[in-house]
Structure 1
Amino acid sequence: MRRIFVVGCPRSGTTLLQSFLAAHPDIHSFPETHVFHRLRAPRGLRRAAGLAAAGATQRLDDAAGWLGVPRARPLLPTVRRHGAAFLAMADAAARKHGAGAWVEKTPANLYALDLIERLVPGALVVHIVRDGADVVASLCAVAGNWGTTYSVDTAIDQWTECIAITDRYRGRERHSVVGYDRLVRDPEGTLTELCAALGLPYTEAMITGREAAARDLVKDFEHWKSDNAGPLRDGAGRRLDEVFDGATRRYVRERVAAVPVREVGSGG
């Protein structure tokens, strides 16, 4: 079973990439589970003992619902047992749909890659990177839907941090990096290269079936992701113009330009 994780800064196109992959006939995917990045307990006795964070079992139960399989509850509430329980459910869901691979897409798993690599044998990780100005504008525009707010500086800092994490993993075995803009402008070329890195054959169904796949991946309340179920659009710079005034646009561009971002394709 191939186990694939899509990660990146929120609003970087993780759902779009997931939708392309989910349309592959040998890949099964499902809505975000938030299992791994919330699996470890905060520092303290619970973490020192290897126990999972409070609420981890409930997240497994929720994941079982999204996966459409019987829930798996570990006998011991450890991080390792919870990870194994999730893998058993995800593998079962993929087999149920006749797939030899599955994709888990929770952007914040970017912060738990060390844990994923320890708990998931052969984990394949796909990072997606998007222009920082567009990410910042989108974060500021949709954060209210998440019950929070982003200042411009907070959004820039988060994007910068995510880029730095991806750069630390770039070039490692089983890690691929996809550029959002290239994915939108040349989906066939980008996905062909990515499939080769994942050990899967490229198929045109990844493009023709993307919109339908997206509708199965977005939860009812996640209306900020609704564009993923529509036609593919190259909107580089559009979000920035929609959200900010001229002075703020200039400030965002200046700060983002100071962050070194390596050219990305679908390889390392």
Structure 2
Amino acid sequence: MGYPRSGTTFLQSLLLNFEEVESFPETHFFHYLIQGNYFQRKLKIVSSRSLKKIQFLLADKNNFSSWLISYNKATACFIKDLDEKTLRANKRIWVEKTPGHLHIIKLIERYVDNPLFIHIIRNPVNAITSLHKVTTNYPVSWGGARSVNNCMNRWIEDVRISLDMIKKKQNHHLIIYDKLVTQTKTEMDKIAAFLSINSLPGYDHTKYASKIVEPHEPWKNRNFLEVVPQTGYEVEHTLSVMDIKMIHNATRLLYQEVLDIESINYQ
């Protein structure tokens, strides 16, 4: 999980190299779970509109016998569905990847037993540039184009959430996107240790991209190609010099904290 356009799909594709791991396209399940009115959220009851979205995700469409479904019941059905899909694939670990679930970690920990979280953080200029670009190019899919300021503030918010979790809890692991690209085996071996599974001689993200990238997600098509390390900011979508300076000034100290924590805790 992490800020959008930070390499979550790239990491997910790499995780599928492990023979124990199964994964799926983004579900947005926990966002659907809490999309109700005030009283539904207060009573922790799934709205009828969200229930239809959740049923669409499940292999067994008849999991719910009524329209009065609690968060606990809906989550139990969701987890059961992922467990069964994983077992049918002869795997024992499943990975659910929805970047925005970063904002509802406490809810996930309340309803899922012993979850493990992997946070991925990308350098701010490239991450913010990428989100600004994709929302500009695909505004309908992304809920509207976002300004550089909006993208920057979201990066700051998301990274603060990740750091708070990583500092406090042992079931959260930090990955730096730029290191994952340039030192893939080293970083994936650390994840293998975190998941208590065997590391591999090598990792190929392109092999499994088709399993998790949906046809309506053209912005993810680069996951079918070799990832090339970037220097500076994304030249294909150049921000103004003032925007780059603003991002550096606003994020420099926070990103340095990320790098410091990673260098101390994950060597």
TM-score relative to the length of structure 1: 0.89
Assess, with a 3 A threshold, how the Cα gap between structure 1 residues 225 and 108 changes in structure 2: closer, same or farther. Answer: same
- Distance in 2 (CA, whole Å) between partners of 1:103 and 1:139 is 23
2:81 paired residue number = 89
Q: Which amino acid letter does the alignment assign opposite residue 231 of structure 1?
A: E
Deviations 1:46-81 (A, max 9, x none): 1121202443222223323xxxx3335334411111
- Distance in 2 (CA, whole Å) between partners of 1:212 and 1:123 is 26
1:139 matched to 2:134? The reply is: no
What is the deviation of 1:42? 4.8
Q: Which amino acid letter does the alignment assign opposite residue 10 of structure 1?
A: P
Larger deviation, residues 161-170 vs 251-260: 251-260
- Distance in 2 (CA, whole Å) between partners of 1:130 and 1:185 is 13
Q: What does residue range 156-195 of structure 1 map to in structure 2 within 5 Å?
A: 156-171=152-167, 172-195=169-192
What is the deviation of 1:140? 0.7
Q: Which amino acid letter does the alignment assign opposite residue 149 of structure 2?
A: D
- Distance in 1 (CA, whole Å) between partners of 2:160 and 2:23 is 27
2:245 paired residue number = 250
Q: Which amino acid letter does the alignment assign opposite residue 38 of structure 2?
A: G
- Distance in 2 (CA, whole Å) between partners of 1:27 and 1:186 is 21
Deviations 1:115-135 (A, max 9, x none): 111111111110101111111
State whether residues 10 and 107 of structure 1, in contact with CA within 8 Å, keep that contact through their aligned partners in structure 2: yes
2:63 paired residue number = 73
1:47 matched to 2:47? The reply is: no
Report SS of the residue matched to 1:227: helix
TM-score relative to the length of structure 2: 0.89
2:223 paired residue number = 228
- Distance in 1 (CA, whole Å) between partners of 2:197 and 2:61 is 29
What is the deviation of 1:38? 2.9
Assess, with a 3 A threshold, how the Cα gap between structure 1 residues 240 and 256 changes in structure 2: closer, same or farther. Answer: farther
1:4 paired residue number = none
Q: Percent identity?
A: 25
What is the deviation of 1:241? 6.5
Deviations 1:79-113 (A, max 9, x none): 11111111011001101111000110000000111
Larger deviation, residues 128-137 vs 145-154: 145-154
Assess, with a 3 A threshold, how the Cα gap between structure 1 residues 97 and 236 changes in structure 2: closer, same or farther. Answer: farther
Q: Which amino acid letter does the alignment assign opposite residue 188 of structure 2?
A: L
State whether residues 2 and 119 of structure 2, in contact with CA within 8 Å, keep that contact through their aligned partners in structure 1: yes
What is the deviation of 1:22? 1.6
Q: Which amino acid letter does the alignment assign opposite residue 173 of structure 1?
A: Q
1:56 paired residue number = 50
Assess, with a 3 A threshold, how the Cα gap between structure 1 residues 247 and 218 changes in structure 2: closer, same or farther. Answer: same
2:211 paired residue number = 216
Unaligned runs of 5+ in 1: 1-6
1:23 matched to 2:17? The reply is: yes
State whether residues 32 and 54 of structure 2, in contact with CA within 8 Å, keep that contact through their aligned partners in structure 1: no
Which of 34, 37, 53 aligns to 2:28? It is 34
- Distance in 2 (CA, whole Å) between partners of 1:201 and 1:42 is 42
State whether residues 33 and 59 of structure 1, in contact with CA within 8 Å, keep that contact through their aligned partners in structure 2: no
Pairwise CA RMSD of aligned residues? 2.0
Unaligned runs of 5+ in 2: none
1:152 matched to 2:125? The reply is: no
Q: Which amino acid letter does the alignment assign opposite residue 100 of structure 1?
A: R
